[in-house]
Structure 1
């Protein structure tokens, strides 16, 4: 390990994150009773310009009045390039800061964006006498943000998670896609011709590089990497596949833009019983090996060593967190 130690963000359970438009307060109570880990009440893309102010009032009232139980509560503010942003932050932190856990910042482009929000939130919290410090979630959804993702991830002690905003990222990079989070048949390769002249088509994952780069930046700075939306909520199999891909790359959560996606995210982003059982057997086998002066041992016909311990500990700790 490097001599440089990585400070981990607060260990919130973040398997599923439900988006709820701030302009639709009739949805708040149902969301509060769901099994989702994190809820973000949206003031940005899901709210029309002439509804921005009322949505902000709805969100502040809901944070103060609704019993959200132990759910982590976040609000997606409007972008720094809009005139809505400053009032979003001031009103939210002044009037609902004691219940607000996170602020979700859209279209983060540079570390300076983070610094500006950090300064503003810190001043409001100090002026109000708030003891709890609100954390930041950053959506990486532009070419500029992806270029600067490492600096963004390290820009504030408030940072907790990075999220991949696939739709705006596609628009920013001018990718030929109008779907949200799905695959594209044009991102494919042909095999060489077979003896009969036929050629196979192998689809690829056009978001692999971007998501993987974001995961690395997040983990290198102790943050949670979270995969963003999957637009077709009538396709649970497609959602599962996208979530499994994200989990395989190191993400620990995924957005739900519809209540039906909550259970899918929780399922995929939770270690299975067999995975936890194997992890516990790895820890037991390595403990026995260490007691006998060995640094590696065979388990189920495979070599395990101290790196295996670190992998197993991650799974066991996640299972304990979910159980709690």
Structure 2
């Protein structure tokens, strides 16, 4: 089951249908049972004629049932602050009890150049997503399949993923990997997800229902991994209480540095009740 769902007003919606799609999303947010999922709306970017109307309609219509707004194609922090200020005004006007968070798609070369400023520009910021499809177009990368490196030797997206992840981690927010278009290849999807996880990203988009299970499998820690992490942390805390700087567990040494690595696993486990 997906952890996060976004209702789309951007690429998946034809220009002639964008205005009507707003009301469909409002109804879906108000009438569906979303469980514990993060409810997000992906809006059109600030250079389009639809952005301000997207924000006004969905927040006025379903503000209490929106967790985050996803801004597409920002190039600078100023683009993000446009959304920030509109949310501030709408929440005051409507008397909303919860602040709506902001997610940002890093999918333009200018955005990657400004990613650190973007990550820290608003206290509403919750997530940076690497959108490799539009990013490939923006940089002129020679590929026809979103998320694949084409003829490039190695991972052509490594640098961009690394910068997005580091900026997000430094800002104390999440980094998420974007789509992979070949939904018939679980092996290729998993490989990309594992690379993203290895860099510190916390999830990857699924553009087809089959990809949800593949993503969850990669980003959910195994029960035995969590059990080992709890054992290691307990041993370190006991050693620390005794004035020792390290402990040994089953032939493995754990000190302050490795305890931090172990804690990363436990934070994920605690979030999902493992």
User: Is 1:169 aligned to 2:135, yes or no?
Assistant: yes
Note if contact 1:282-1:308 (Cα within 8 Å) is conserved in structure 2.
no
Q: CA RMSD in A?
A: 1.2
Q: Distance in 2 between matches of 1:122 and 1:205?
A: 40
For the residues of structure 1 that align with 2:156 and 2:83, how far apart are their CA atoms? 32
Q: Residue 124 of structure 2 corresponds to which residue in structure 1? A: 158
- How many Å apart are 1:321 and its aligned residue? 1.5
What's the TM-score once normalised by structure 1's chain length?
0.82
3-state SS in 2 of match to 1:213: helix
Q: CA deviation at 1:56?
A: 1.1
Greater shift after overlay, 159-168 or 290-299? 290-299
1:57 is aligned to 23
Q: For the residues of structure 2 that align with 1:101 and 1:234, how far apart are their CA atoms?
A: 31
What does residue 174 of structure 2 align with?
224
Task: Kindly report which structure 2 residues correspond to 1:1-324, keeping only aligned pairs within 5 A, or say none.
Answer: 35-184=1-150, 186-188=151-153, 204-323=154-273
* CA distance in 1 between partners of 2:124 and 2:267 (Å): 23
Q: Name the SS of the counterpart of 1:68 in structure 2.
A: coil
Any stretches of 5+ residues in structure 2 without a counterpart? none
Q: Distance in 1 between matches of 2:245 and 2:168?
A: 30
Q: Which has the higher contact order (CA 8 A, sep 6+)?
A: 1
Q: Deviations 1:41-81 (Å, cap 9, x if unpaired)?
A: 01001111111112111101111111112211000001100
Give the whole-Å Cα distance in 1 for the aligned partners of 2:89 and 2:237. 49
Mapped to 2, the partners of 1:260 and 1:122 lie a distance apart of: 38
Q: Distance in 2 between matches of 1:165 and 1:146?
A: 11
Secondary structure of the residue aligned to 1:265 is: helix
Q: For the Cα contact (< 8 Å) 1:136–1:158, is it kept in 2?
A: yes
Q: How far apart are residue 317 of structure 1 and its match?
A: 2.4
Deviation at 1:280, TM superposition (A): 1.2
Task: State how far apart, in whole Å, the 2-side matches of 1:58 and 1:292 are.
Answer: 60
1:297 and 1:303 in contact (8 A); partners too: yes
How far apart, in 2, do the equivalents of 1:169 and 1:183 lie? 12
Name which of structure 1's ranges 85-94 and 290-299 shifts more when overlaid on structure 2: 290-299
**In the aligned structure 1, how far is the partner of 2:171 from the partner of 2:149?**
29
CA distance in 2: counterparts of 1:240 and 1:230, whole angstroms = 10
> Rg bigger for which structure?
1
How far apart in 2 are the matches of 1:291 and 1:160?
A: 35
Q: Give the conservation status (yes or no) of the 8 Å contact 1:160–1:224.
A: yes
Displacement of 1:111 after TM fit? Answer: 0.6
The structure in which a higher percent of residues are helix is 2
Residue by residue over 1:171-229, the C-alpha shift from the partner in whole angstroms, topping out at 9 and shown as x without a partner, is 00111111111232x222xxxxxxxxxxxxxxx11100000100000000011000000
